[in-house]
Structure 1
Amino acid sequence: MRSAMGALLLLGTGCFAECFAEEVPLRIAVTDGWAMPMVQIERGRPTQGIIPDILTSLATQVAMPAQFHVLSRARLDGAMKHGEVDMRCYVSPAWVSDRDNYLWSGPLFFQRDLLVGAPGTPSKVVPAMLGQQPIGTVLGYTYPTLQPLFENGQLRRNDARSQEQVLAKLLAARYRYGVTNQWALDWFNQRHTADQQLHEVAVLQEQELGCYVRNDPKIPAQRILRTLSDMKSSGEIDAIIQLYTGRNADSGTGARSP
């Protein structure tokens, strides 16, 4: 009797399908090559950072539980192509070979890629003028500005698993220069004394980045993109970035908060 009454109650409230339907997650790709303040990964799961904070808010606003998938850079394109994940952020269309098969947001982030030096190295260098030597890089990442120098043997890649590891190896004198972005450099330096801080020696590239979503009728892609646009225009995305970096999201300028 109780079971029958329960079923009638569900029908009467109009939530029979909703109450038994499993929530469809928004599956989000996160690369294991990132470092704080973009993301902190513990036991294979993101625990904090700019990207998970923004995308958790996005998922809440589109009424889908966020499900993060931590992947190597080499697996990202295949995971999107084969429907293992639904969206990816902090990316340029130039990085994606089949970019026309997806739906793209407008610009949401501004990235400065830097060549950085260990303590005691010159304050400014011209990469093309460097002698033969290893350069700290992230496994699977491409560096268009330096690629000709890698190809002619003038510079050699010394790959690490993440940007944080690149900077740690640089501080440990495994090489004299490494590549990172402005956010990761600021975060790393905040945690070291003045005599151990790394410094920018050259700007390699500046570019605007966004998000893209699989063009699949099972995914509310247009609603996701509209929500991202609203989050950008309302200042929510910039506020999250500034909380972690103290920098203006569009220009990359500004002093770090203490």
Structure 2
Amino acid sequence: MRLLPLALLLLSAALGAEERPLRFSVTESWAMPMMQIDNGKASAGILYDLQMRLAQKVGRRAELMVMPRLRVQQMLVRGEIDVRCYVNPAWLHESHYQYIWSVPFMVQRDVLVSRVHDQPPPPAQAQGELVGTVLGFIYPRLEPLFASGHLRRDDARTQELALEKLEAHRYRYAVSNDMALQWYNRRQPPARQLQAISELSADLVACIVRDAPDVPTMPLLRALVQMSNDGEFEAILAKYR
């Protein structure tokens, strides 16, 4: 009979260990509709809904860790993040061999943006122009122009701040993903709305999941496939369009 309390204690400890939250990285430069961050905590948005639903599907709690992009990279290298969503292989500086890629869940379209009534010249003709960008973001189509000094980056901490500076006439161009631009224009009168003048890139984005014994790696990857097949990704995106 003495073995029963010990068995219950061991079972309780095992269940407690299984309940460790899944650590999702959240880059502090994200803006709505991708992520709402209030006082350093993620609270809403496409990626918030996606990550909370993903954790729910595997029976775990989600810990959304908000941090600068550089720290995200460092923690990935050390294996201190379980899941990172909204990423493309071309955006990573490291191989992250300890992570497995999921199915893609959306396409990010980066566009060059200007004010509605402006007619700035094409970037190739805009010698020395400032371009509103986000700190740490990579823009492959524009990188050669930045490297040569033909264009100059003006880095903002978040995507929303980059658009606000464009509206405030700090520069004539900015780069934004199309969904962030649409969200920003929602609260602007027609005369102050911003316009996309050209598409710079269209990249499939997915999640990477740490392949380790303390992470339900395959259940997470299967859950993402199931969400894709069941239309859950599209339902989340539609909520914020």
Output aligned runs, 1:58-207, within 5 Å.
58-96=54-92, 97-122=94-119, 126-207=122-203
| C-alpha displacement of 1:13 | 11
| C-alpha displacement of 1:158 | 0.5
C-alpha distance in 2, partners of 1:163/1:143? 13
CA contact (8 A) 1:10 1:16 kept: no
**What is the aligned-residue RMSD (CA, Å)?**
2.3
Give unpaired runs (5+ residues) of structure 1: 1-6, 246-258
| C-alpha displacement of 1:106 | 1.5
Q: Report what 2:45 is aligned to.
A: 49
- Matched residue count: 240
Q: Report what 1:239 is aligned to.
A: 235
Letter matched to residue 64 of structure 1: R
Q: Report what 1:248 is aligned to.
A: none
| C-alpha displacement of 1:212 | 0.3
Identity of aligned residues (%): 43
Q: Report what 2:215 is aligned to.
A: 219
Q: Deviations over 1:105-139 (max 9, x none)?
A: 121110100110023212x8532122321100001
Give unpaired runs (5+ residues) of structure 2: none
Normalising by the residue count of structure 2, what TM-score does the alignment of the two structures yield?
0.92
| C-alpha displacement of 1:216 | 1.2
Letter matched to residue 184 of structure 1: A
Query: Which SS does the other structure have where 2:113 is aligned?
Result: strand
